[in-house]
Chain A
Amino acid sequence: MNIRLSLTVNDESRELLVPVHKTLLEVLREDLDLIGTKHGCELGECGTCTVLVDGAPVLSCIALPADLQDSDITTVEGMADGSRLHPLQQAFAELGAAQCGYCTPGILLTAKALLADDPTPTRQRIREALAGNLCRCTGYTKILDAVELAALRMGQRPVRAMT
């Protein structure tokens, strides 16, 4: 059974015809060529496939696009503004918060949603928000540091723009 999907992905509206049993992860990677979203366990157990649906982090490996008609989807490809990296991406690169990088897209998006909700999160709040993203490399410390640095910079931006 095929289904006609109409989704907004990274601010572009996309219409496509896909088998209804394809997950959002499969549609993003295979039908829209957005391979920044990673596939890890594919069973809801690791968080690397996280994308934002109407601003909220969800696991694309167990989400059915048929349920997400007309939603707004953000993948890691939608984070940078042209050639300007998102402050989270910038901070992750500067602090070495990515090693193999496999968990990074999911963590960036989860952190983006956190900062939209709470621009000045405590370290504990960051830990809780990222409690659904496994990383096998970094030991997490630099990831937490990078989210704090990005939050700080994002909070300062209007001030800087005035000077």
Chain B
Amino acid sequence: MIRLPAFEYLAPRTVGDAVKYLADRGADAMLVAGGTDLFPNMKRGQFEPKALVGLRGIRELSGVSGDGRAGLTIGAATTLSAVAAHPEVARRYPALATAAGLVSSPQLRNAATLGGNVCVDTRCNWYNQSYEWRKAVGFCMKKDGDICLVAPGSSRCWAVSSSDTAPVLWALGATARLAGPAGERTLPVSALYQDDGIAYLAKRPDEILTELALPAADGWDSVYLKLRRRGSFDFPVLGVAVAVRREGEVVREARVVLGAVASTPREAAAASTALVGQRLTSESITRAAEAAAGPAKPLDNTDFTHPYRKRLVRVYVARALARLAGLDAGPSSFDGFEGRPGFPGEPRALAGGVRGGSSPPRLNNQGAISGPPPST
């Protein structure tokens, strides 16, 4: 058995008590919600908290309220299964339902929370390993060491922001509510992150994320696409979240946000700008997709080669925009063979079949039949 190290467990019933427990214990304590990120990491020695403050017993932290007209508020401890299955989320904020529903596996989503997904640790091939592996290879600065093994001359860590929902919440213009010893504050999800693999959250360690608020959805459409090696289990190697507000057919506002390309989700502002005032045609889509590739600077520290990941940014942004334009109805998750989403044991359609546009209809993760994605 790979066991958890011993810790003291505190299970407050209110946010106020949770804030107090966290403040009392200081740097020795960590928060835990579903534990689906933290517990595997603790088993591998990435975190060694003396005390855990559990959020699962706090009723006020879970549930969804409001609607697409006025805006929706989601408690930080709401499970990803509940977010993905919520009818108003699915109807008015489809990118969020898609992203929540593509995290890891069904079992994991029954325990994992939205707040935990927003705060999920950054990832790197040199870090997400057992203690013994890391010791044998030589520790890096994210834990137990002092150099970066990916970029040895670098003074910072480049571990990758790997949340599926973070780029979507950013693209949707969501705000995060935080509770801390000094009271409550809200900030845009776009201000919750910073580009550093270790200090990737801009929130203070004594602050608890209590809820995520989505603005009114009227006029907005959104889509999320995810690249990973297998159709299940795997973290995003690239996530593309796009939200647009159109009047008639003309785009009035747009946000294109990339996941897993840096230590923070990264807005492709030039792509967003390129879309405003335009209709979504194959020309405007191509221009925006070219512009989106700029800010993506993946390093060689996740699955797949980094030139491939960089190249796929353009392809995925184009595909996401084509989806919004009604030019494509393909699946939301792709494995690295351009194959089909879904089941780990399913035979993969190898590259080639898809590009020519002649592959058979496919089933997406929501069970809808779809045609091949457009050639890009």
* A residues adjacent to B (C-beta < 8 A): 1, 3, 19-23, 25-26, 39, 42-45, 47, 50, 53, 56-59, 62-64, 66-67, 110, 122, 124-125, 127-135, 139-140
Q: Is B106 within 8 A of A131, CB to CB?
A: yes
Q: A110-B107, A131-B342 are in contact. List 5 more A-B contacts (CB 8 A).
A: A26-B1, A62-B40, A67-B11, A131-B231, A131-B232
Q: Which of B161-169, B184-192, B308-316, B343-351 contacts A (4 or more CB under 8 A)?
A: B343-351
Q: Is B111 within 8 A of A58, CB to CB?
A: yes
Within 8 Å CB of A43, what residues of B?
2, 40, 43-44
Q: Is B283 an interface residue (CB 8 A)?
A: no
Task: Give B100 Cβ to nearest chain A Cβ, in Å.
Answer: 14
Instruction: Count how many chain B residues have C-beta atoms less than 8 Å from C-beta atoms of the other chain.
Output: 39
- Say yes or no: A1-B6 contact (C-beta < 8 A), given A62-B36, A66-B54, A127-B343: yes
Q: Is B226 an interface residue (CB 8 A)?
A: no
Task: Give A99 Cβ to nearest chain B Cβ, in Å.
Answer: 13
Q: How far, in whole Å, are A129 and B232 apart by their CA atoms in the complex?
A: 11
- The listed residue (A42, A64, A110, A139) touching B43 by CB distance below 8 A is A42
Task: Give B7 Cβ to nearest chain A Cβ, in Å.
Answer: 5
CB-based nearest B residue for A46 = B233
* B residues adjacent to A (C-beta < 8 A): 1-9, 11, 32, 35-36, 39-40, 43-44, 54, 56-57, 81, 104-108, 110-111, 231-233, 342-346, 363, 365, 367
CB-based nearest B residue for A129 = B106
- Say yes or no: A128-B35 contact (C-beta < 8 A), given A1-B9, A56-B110, A58-B110: no
Within 8 Å CB of B346, what residues of A?
127, 140
- The listed residue (A22, A39, A66, A132) touching B108 by CB distance below 8 A is A132
Q: Is B9 within 8 A of A134, CB to CB?
A: no
Within 8 Å CB of A132, what residues of B?
104-108, 232-233
Q: How far, in whole Å, are A140 and B2 apart by their CA atoms in the complex?
A: 28
